[in-house]
Amino acid sequence: MQSSANPKSQIPNPQSRRVIVAIGGGIAAYKVCELVSTLFKSGVEVRVILTKSAQEFVTPLTLATLSRHQAYTDDYFCQPIYFRPLHIELGEWADLIVIAPLTANTLAKLAYGMADNLLTNTVLASTCPVLLAPAMNTDMWEQVAVQRNWRQLLTDKRFHGIETGSGLLACDRIGAGRMAEPAEICVYIQSLLHTQGKRDLAGKQILISAGGTQEYLDPVRFIGNPSTGKMGLGLAQAALHRGAKVILVHCPASWDVPLGVEGIEVVSADQMQHVMLERLANADITVMSAAVADIKPQEYSTEKLPKRSLPENLPLAPVPDIVAELGKRKQPHQSLIGFAAQTGDIITPAREKLQRKQLDAIVANPIDKTDSGFGSDNNQAVFLDKQGREVEIPACSKLEMAHYLFDFLVGNW
| Catalytically active residues, by annotation | 171
> What backbone torsions phi and psi does residue 132 show, to the nearest 5 degrees?
-110, 125
251: Cβ–Cβ under 8 A, 6 or more apart, which residues?
210, 211, 212, 213, 214, 227, 229, 265, 266, 267, 272, 290
| C-alpha distances out from residue 56 to 47, 67, 75, 216, Å | 19, 19, 15, 55
| CA nearest to 68, candidates 46, 52, 86, 87 | 46
**How many other CB atoms are there within 10 angstroms of residue 40's CB atom?**
16
Distance separating alpha carbons of residues 205 and 371, to the nearest angstrom = 31
303, with CB counted inside 10 A (0-12, 13-18, 19+), is exposed
Strand partners, 378: 397
| CA nearest to 299, candidates 213, 216, 220, 219 | 216
CA 327 and chain centroid, separation:
26
Residue ranges for the binding site for CTP? 294, 304, 320-323, 339, 353, 357
